[in-house]
Structure 1
Amino acid sequence: MMRSLYSAISGLSVNQQAMDVLGNNISNVNTVGYKSGRAVFEDMLSQTLVGSTAPSDTLGGTNSTQVGLGTSLAGVDTIFETGSMQSTSVNTDLAIQGDGFFVIKGAGSSDLLYTRAGDFRFDTSGSLVTSSGFYVQGWMVDPDTGELLTEGTTEDIVLSSAYQTAQAKVTSEASLAGVLDTDADPSIVSYPSLLHYADTGDSIFQVYSDDGANMDLADNESIKVKAHGTGMTEMGYIYNTSDVNLDLASDPQLLVYINSNPVTLEYGVDFNTMAELANALETQLNTAAGAADFSVAVVDGTINVTRNTVVGANVSIDSFSGSPLLAVAMSDLASVYDDAGDTKSSDEMYYESQIYAGRDFTTLTELASAIEEAIDGNVIPTDEFNVTYDSATGQFNYVIDNTLNSALGTLRLSGFSLDKAYSGTVFENNIVPAGAVIEAVYGTTDTELSNTFLRTAQDDDPLTELFTSSGDSLGLDATAILQFSAGVAGENLAGTATIPAATSTLDDLREAIAAYMGYDSATEDDVLQHIASLDKNSGKLQITGEKGSPNEIDFVKFEVVGSGTYDTFYDYYEYNTVQEAKGGTLTTSQTIYDAQGNAHTVQYNFEMSDSLDNVWKLTVSTPDDGAEISFNETTGNQVYMHFNANGSFNYLTTESGQRIASLSMNYDTGGGAGVVSDIEMDLGTAGKFDGIYISSDDSGITKAAQDGYATGLLESTLFNSNGEIIGYYTNGQVATIAQIATATFTNPGGLTKVGDTTFQKSSNSGDPAIGRPGTGFRGKVAAETLENSNVDLSTEFVNMITTQRGFQANSRVITTSDEMLQELMSLKR
């Protein structure tokens, strides 16, 4: 009976202890990093009433009969299940995601404690401590070397004065990356068009008159080749002064009234040529006079009637009728011829032949042939009229060569002109001078010249044979020497370009200018980039500079040394800037630092130097007073950047063309900080686009970097997932200051709770494995986060109910046992 009492008493005791565990769990339901406990029961020693027996041949085995003596508390387990994570706005709140403990220790103690509660803060001394004042352990960065000393033992994390300031760093490396815009315009200067004598093969549509006017001929325009009719001219091709054909084929009879008597002269019967008409009329007049008093001749396209003597009777020409146009042309001959010397002339009559521009002729030589063919054999006997074009003088030569037939006497060409169909007289006035008369007695020649025909100047034209656009000779004689000077990019070019006019062509001048301005090269195509071919530029000398405003042509100037005055040359040869240079530049700046942390400005100026060869000039300067800057390998402040055809960077050279293996820069502060020397400059890798490159994109710097900085003060700290404390300084530097330590145990359940939500190692927990978070099964650190208690209230309340029922049941065992004892005592009574 007493056994049940003692068993129940043990049951009351252990359930009371279990309730203590539950109460502690519930009281720490909001404790950061708290790990809940669990009470574990075990039964006590049992009393054996009957021992067990082994089976025999006759009986089976029997079990022992035992009565238990109650229960006891086997232990209280700590549940290390991770609690839920709660975000906070405190940057020193930490939580471990996974296994491990923060390592801490008390002031003046060498014993380490361990906790999951990461509600840390910095105290006034800069130490990272727990809410209870324990020092958080970890490793500090060596302030001199920047090395994190994780190989040694842990220490207090203290942001001492050594970490409050980031020491200034002198700049040792600098780099630039960006694009230089090649879409730039060069400056272009242009001189007025020059002219030269036209060539025999030049098109009539592309030549100019002697005053520089365009020939006003249209394609397929008709041109009448005209001259006074001569004795040999067929009357069927005769035109009156109104350019109307006499049309004798339709009405061939001319009726002449002489002394009131009608005389009929018929075309094709009595006459065919002008000379035959004159002879027929002369015969009729002498017949009427009864004597050879009259002579009738063809003079400059007219029929001239002259009474030479008065031997016979008086004669009068009363009128003309019949063929109307011929009668009108002859009407001025009507008169009384009664005195010697009486003379009358008919209207002028012309031979005309029509040719077409672009159809019968195009070139000047073809035009000469067309004119000759029209006149030859119709006005002048065959082969005795020649028309040629002389390219040496730019003139048409109209020649009567009267050396073939002595019977013809004097040959005369008058009234000669070319009359174009459409309006305008430039061509007409230039091709045949007004009033031109060509006359040659037998055995001689006579020549009449047209005005000068000109074309735009070409590269191979001599300098002494040039004309202005107004047709005036440029005036360069054999003694003239041309001198050319210019200014580019604010500097006058050294010396002058000199070339003698007597032995030079325009092409020689082009090459001399190109060489003088630095534009010459091995091929004509390269020269054409800068000094245009006059062949292709309408006779204009045009100079195109390098692209970009840094290559602006400031001025150009011609001078002439010689025996002449050369006024025409000076008046005419003034250039006009037809395009201003633009683009081709980029200016940027960069800040570097000296040993004292003082900031200095470096200005970079990129200028397009040679667009053809993809060369840019880089100039460095500084606006700082008293400071000087230079490139180490050049002893100056300029280098030249050479780029590949695809725009990628290629190499660097000095101004003299020497290649630079590696570029560095010196900056003399002019003050106590001394010289910032050997700053390694990185402008790009050859063949790549990782630095400065050229393109048609807009210019701009995409990246400018250097490794120096000024002195900075610690502004804020943050923790990363590795538990590192990252310091942010006012100079923009970011540095690792320290790293917190975490520890794991072989048996974390063996740790001893020592209050303040901390644990202490025990003989059964094993030694701590201390290391960096995220290594060796240690979890990573979450900043601005706390781990909540892992107490589950619902589980605790259920356990509380079962514990209460256990306690009640054990108390019932005691009261029941007591009643049984009372019944036993009552038997005695």
Structure 2
Amino acid sequence: YVAALGGGANVVSNAADPNAGAIEIVPALDIYNLQITSDNPLSNPYLNKALNVPSFMSAAGGPYYSDTLRSPAEAGDLLSEIYDANGDDLGLEDGDVISLTGMVGRDSANSADDGLSIAYVSGAGGTTMENLMLLIRDTLKLPANDGTVANNPSVSMNLGASDDGIPDGALVVRGAKGLDFELSNLTLRATNSNNQNPAPTLFNANTSFTQKQKAQDVGVFDTSIAVYDDTGNEHILTMTYVHTGTPGIWDWSVGLNGNESITAGQTGQIIFGQDGSVAAFTFDDDASQLVIDPNNGSSIMRLNLDVGGPGNFQGITQFSSPTTVSAIGQDGYPSGNLTDVSIDEYGVVEGSFSNGVSKRLAQIMLVDFTNPGGLMRVSDSVYTTSPNSGDPVFGVPGSQSASVIKPGALEMSNVDLASEFTSMITTQRGYQANARVITVSDSLLEELVALKR
């Protein structure tokens, strides 16, 4: 009820404007110091502020109206018409600069540095809650929506009851998914433009942020590696990991950047154990390999994804540290040309190719005989078997054969030394005889020259 005291008379009025939310008063007598009270004493302070009326209302004047009952702020509301929970003005005046600072992940955000701070303007056509919301969204570089299944606005006014404890009229800011976009240390402040009253004290007091939900690591990470089909053509394979929001569980998927088709094993899930190693690596289609049709005439590619396993820390692991992922290696290779050949002591002929691959090309076998001295000589360094030598026994050097190969070394001569030495002496004698003939001829010429003189 409304109790009015004036001229010694009590006046009661319950006339209300339902559209404006204000009480209309038509006094029959002059009214001084109208007090609006409730039968609940706890409501009186709020009613006095929310339904404030003039201290004097003349019987000759009117009608008079109280202030309007407050409702939760909406995006289109002017800041000049917004009050705190007690019904007090926020203390903003024209020219006050409203700025936002904070952190997005590890990066700092400051509206002043980005030229986004706004100067408050009062009255019709002035600064609205929507201007404030855009300031927050642009400074924090947030998308229009938060990217969740609910697709909530990144910055919004909370209207209506909610089960998360957010009050009506609260300004709600939702960051993007993942720890890399975690919002922290948000501070929305207005500075007094002229250092005089009113100061925006209540604005600053009512714009502090409270974290309602901590950011979770729901990041997306990927890595790429080149794989090859059986004709040496390259295919770039990208593996993407997306955190499910449940600790230790990630969804994975495989993509290719060409015309290839993945026929099996494209998606799955990886679960980490308490020790950080892979507890389970599954395929959504119950496959056991990644199967790719290169669509270029080559054979179907079947790839094993080696990510590790329980207690194996050589593959993918998850520990309390920033997330990174990389492909360590693969055993395929492109086509290449033979550039070098080498032979080791065990008779392995190995070829080196221009693509960096070394490949075993052949195996040299050695032949052993029961009696090597029984071999029959055919020509220089060429021997054949005889009844005395025994049958040849083929074997791999160093294993089946006790002999090994010394690559790059010169072998000792195996020719008939006596015969070769005799031939060398004969050659030397012939040279000496020819030398003596030349000497005698030279002496005769000298004698003839002397006789002529």
Question: TM-score range, shorter-chain basis?
Answer: 0.3 to 0.5
Q: Relative contact order (C-alpha < 8 Å, sep 6+): which is higher?
A: 1
Q: What is the TM-score of this pair, normalised by structure 1?
A: 0.26
Q: What is the TM-score of this pair, normalised by structure 2?
A: 0.45
